[in-house]
Amino acid sequence: MLHQKILEDARSQSNWIVNIRRQLHRFPELMYEEIKTSKLVRETLDELDISYESGIAETGVVATLGSGDAPCIALRADMDALPIQEETDIPFRSEIDGRMHACGHDCHTAMLLGAAKLLKERESALPGTVRLIFQPAEEGGAGGKRMCNAGVLENPRVEQIFGLHVWPPLPTGTVGSRRGTFLAAAGEVTITIHGKGGHAAQPHVCIDPVVAAAKVVTELQSIISRNLDPLDSGVISITAIHGGEAYNVIPESVQMSGTIRALTMNRLDWLQDRVKSMAAQVAAANDCEATIEFPGNVYPPTVNNAAVWNTVQGIAGELLGPDAVHEVPPVMGGEDFAFYTEQVPGCFVGLGIRNVESGCTHNVHHPLFKVDEDALPIGSALHTCFAIETLQELAGG
């Protein structure tokens, strides 16, 4: 009954939560540039009379509710947007050219603020501490790692952590996740093929890096199809190729970039070694040289604690009905919630937002990505129920 009352209260605050989400959606900010976003979070927390610290990992905000003593649990939302031009027809579409909340982080932030409001109304009954983590730079900037390094899981020590992500494959009113590895380890790769440029009419006096690069792209796929156990999982995707400026000039070099993913760090390391070896040897076979680098941040796999997932299933089942809770297969997307679950038990959950009638069918990172906003109060209620029930369990009652 407590959970249903919280869901009812969350739905009564739906307009408030949706309004925050729409403000954030109109002004998306890229990683470590979440100035307006952080300001809106702080102003909302001020209105709710919730204490917080800001400027963590540059733009992060961490709020605290409850006694300030152990036990302590954490709820996390990411805040950054993507460098994508929005193509939706919604009235609150992005007002910043080339930037869009195409991964739903505006929803994550709004849902956590909704939970903050619900928890504040119940603060006196909290048998411990709830920490609300508003994190920058999930999209490649490893903001979660920097937040952990800044001590957001300490004083008092966080015992469990919970996170939500809008999930387009699932319909609104449902959730999905799994015990164990849910999301992949992920990293970047950059390959530069060095040849000898010259006139395109005289390829025999040049060493063509374009042809060699094409062969590298093709041969890299054989790592997955012929070197990797068919029962294992891995991804090697070259997503960008740059080389040359004129139709009649063979360039000196071609640069490629992409992503490598696996379900364990050991497998990711192995794939990186194979990519390095394959690219170098294919380039050499074409009289070229290859420079292979792995820039940026490597994200570990997101691994859900079995006991925490059991708790989440019980809460979600009571809120939405047992048929609304799905155990889904692992996904090869990466997520820096993994940096938190490397240190404390936690669970990362997909919140269904699919609604065919309202056109909410595109996946994340797509310029037509839209969210069924009826899901937002459900997310706020899930955060709130997880915090209350887990604290009660940890406090022994």
CATH number of the domain encompassing residue 388: 3.40.630.10
Final residue of a structural domain among 293, 322, 356: 293
Same domain as 135, residue 269: no
- Residue 274: its pLDDT value, please? 98
- Residue 2: its pLDDT value, please? 80
- Number of CB atoms found within 10 A of residue 223's CB: 18
Same domain as 278, residue 366: no
> Could you give the CA distance from residue 287 to residue 291 in angstroms, rounded to a whole number?
14
> Could you give the CA distance from residue 216 to residue 221 in angstroms, rounded to a whole number?
9
Question: Burial code of 111-124, b = ≥16 C-beta within 10 A, e = fewer?
Answer: bbbbbbbbbbebee
> Could you give the CA distance from residue 52 to residue 64 in angstroms, rounded to a whole number?
6
Cis peptide before 156 (omega within 30 of 0): yes
What three-state secondary structure class fits 126? coil
> Could you give the CA distance from residue 350 to residue 176 in angstroms, rounded to a whole number?
5
Same domain as 172, residue 102: yes
Q: What's 63-107 look like in SS3?
A: EEEECCCCCEEEEEEECCCECCCCCCCCCCCCCCCCCECCCCHHH
β-sheet with 325-327: strand ranges across: 51-56, 60-66, 129-135, 72-78, 158-171, 346-354, 175-177, 325-327
Provide the residue type at 211 as one letter. Answer: V
pLDDT tens digit at each of 397 positions of the chain = 688 999 999 999 999 999 999 999 999 999 999 999 999 999 999 999 999 999 999 999 999 999 999 999 999 999 999 999 999 999 999 999 999 999 999 999 999 999 999 999 999 999 999 999 999 999 999 999 999 999 999 999 999 999 999 999 999 999 999 999 999 999 999 999 999 999 999 999 999 999 999 999 999 999 999 999 999 999 999 999 999 999 999 999 999 999 999 999 999 999 999 999 999 999 999 999 999 999 999 999 999 999 999 999 999 999 999 999 999 999 999 999 999 999 999 999 999 999 999 999 999 999 999 999 999 999 999 999 999 999 999 998 5
The H-assigned helical ranges of 150-303 are: 209-222, 265-285
Are 73 and 131 in contact by the 8 Å Cβ rule? The answer is yes
Same domain as 327, residue 213: no
- Residue 1: its pLDDT value, please? 62
DSSP conformational letter for 113: H
> Could you give the CA distance from residue 309 to residue 317 in angstroms, rounded to a whole number?
12
> Could you give the CA distance from residue 129 to residue 119 in angstroms, rounded to a whole number?
11
Same domain as 312, residue 275: no
* Degrees, nearest 5: CA angle 276-272-225: 90
Provide the residue type at 200 as one letter. Answer: A
Give residue 89's Cα distance to chain centre. 24
Give the CATH number, domain containing residue 200: 3.30.70.360
Same domain as 375, residue 235: no
Tell me which residue range forms the domain holding 389.
2-183+301-394
User: How many structural domains are present in the chain?
Assistant: 2
Give residue 148's Cα distance to chain centre. 16
- Residue 333: its pLDDT value, please? 96
Final residue of a structural domain among 250, 277, 293: 293
Cα of first residue to Cα of last residue in the chain, in angstroms, is 17
> Could you give the CA distance from residue 35 to residue 40 in angstroms, rounded to a whole number?
9
Same domain as 196, residue 147: no
* Degrees, nearest 5: CA angle 255-261-263: 170
